[in-house]
Amino acid sequence: MLIQLSVAFAAAAFIALAVFLILTLRKGMTTLGETNKTLGEVRNAIHGLTGEATQLIHTANQVTRDVKGKIKTIDPIFESAHNVGEVIQTVTETFKKNATDIGQSLNPEPEKAAVKSKSGQIRVNTKFQ
């Protein structure tokens, strides 16, 4: 009778173990199904993002080409403005030099006499005589 009870407990334990394993495997299968579904959604989202990223890169390349073309168009204008600035500076310097020369020829300044004081310092006499 002891052997029959032992066999019955062993059979019951085996059945309980089999049921527990079946439940665990079913939960695992459910989790795997949800994971596969989520993975499919992620793949679809990535494909959509890849298309958008490709379109964004193409748009950025077009904008870059457009900006480069406009810079090439405007570059001669800036170079001309630089040349005009140099010409204006040259004319201004020439005008300033000529005005100074004319001013000096019309109003010659008397030379200022330098006087040495007792302390060894040089004093400039600015009084006109």
Q: 101, 95 in Cβ contact below 8 A? A: no
Mean of pLDDT values over 43-48: 88
What percentage of the chain has pLDDT greater than the value 90? Answer: 66
Torsion of CA 21, 24, 29, 33, to 10 degrees: 180
Would you list the domain boundaries of the chain? 8-99
Model confidence over 51-105: pLDDT tens digits?
889 999 999 999 999 999 999 999 999 999 999 999 999 999 999 999 888 888 8
| pLDDT value, residue 67 | 95
pTM of the model: 0.44
Per-residue HEC secondary structure of the chain comes to CHHHHHHHHHHHHHHHHHHHHHHHHHHHHHHHHHHHHHHHHHHHHHHHHHHHHHHHHHHHHHHHHHHHHHHHHHHHHHHHHHHHHHHHHHHHHHHHHHHHHHHHHHCCCCCCEEEECCCCCEEEECCCC
Q: Say which range, 25-29, 69-73, 114-118, 119-123, has the weakest mean pLDDT.
A: 114-118
